[in-house]
Amino acid sequence: MESGMDSLLSRWRKIINQLENIPHLSIIPQPEMKNFTTWKVGGKALALVEVRNGGCLDEVVSSCEREGIKWKILGRGSNVLVKDEGFPGVVIKLGGEFCELKREGNCIEGGAGAPLSHLVSFAREECLGGIEFLVGVPGTVGGAVRINAGCFGKEIGPLVEKVEIREENGNREWLNRDDLFFSYRYSNLKKEKIVILKAVFNLFPEEQEILEERIREFCYLRKEGQPLEWPSAGSVFLNPEGNSAARIIEEMGFKGLRLGRAQISSKHSNFIVNLGGAKSWEIEYLMNWVQKEVYKNKGIWLEREVELWP
């Protein structure tokens, strides 16, 4: 009798020969996901496929769905915890045209796969302000828009003018500002089968020297307040309304607590860091334990900000 994994590999072999002949597409078979996530943990996926244009994306998604193979889009691997067992499906990364940036008046159109660091640098070079606060955030344009990423009291949502998406049925559509809804670490684009392709940001003219000074200030704040010396996924829990997850965890006395090689950061208690060689289950156990203990003692349920795969 064919096992679940054997069946999955059999279905994958049916489509890999077709995909390998498609230009502008690269495939890494059974990658260790710890090499593609900022936490540096996670087992193997079935494959990691980089697509460089819309046609490639359609081919990969339709092939996976035809064979009943799971697929997910991965940006820079931040905000994600892949389990030690890995992900039984295909991980898709957006490259090529999805990483392009261009100016349109006081707006910047960014491909969903473009790193946020490139977006910040491009805006500085074009003397456009408003997005400097994202310097150092290890994500992509698409991922940031999807979860309305933010820091230092600012969010990316208010800057978004319009977004191009690939709908579940494969159609492409531009959504204007009135079609979009953003709230704290949420947008109405946060749906399983919707793929963000591009986003347009409405910025404002600014002198380059002023932008460079702001970028330096935000870099300093990030370095002073966050444990950048260890792999992490950024903030683990959402802040409860009117409160701070970091403050709550610190009040509980959990700062610096360890399990194996995973640790609640002694610098910022809403970060769990990998001290080197941590396992995904250690990080997940710490997250679950903090949630339960905080709820038991304070009656507050801390919602996870990070996504668990699968």
Is cis: bond before 310, omega within 30 of 0? yes
* CA angle, 231 then 235 then 239, to 5°: 170
**Residues assigned a catalytic role:** 185, 235, 305
- d(CA 50, CA 73) in angstroms, rounded, equals 10
Bridge partners of 32, per DSSP, are: 44
Q: And the tokens for 66? A: 């035809």
**Residue 34 φ then ψ, to 5°:** -65, -20
Bridge partners of 163, per DSSP, are: 175, 199
State which amino acid sits at residue 80. Answer: V
**Residue 187 DSSP code:** E
265-293 burial, b at 16+ Cβ within 10 Å, e below that, comes to: beebbbbbbbeeebbbbbbbebbeebbee
Look at residues 101, 97, 113, 100 and name the one whose alpha carbon lies nearest to residue 146. 113
Contacts for 32 with CB less than 8 Å, ≥ 6 apart: 42, 43, 44
First-to-last C-alpha distance (Å) of the chain:
25
Look at residues 257, 261, 260, 267 and name the one whose alpha carbon lies nearest to residue 289. 257
**Residue 282 φ then ψ, to 5°:** -65, -45
- d(CA 111, CA 119) in angstroms, rounded, equals 10
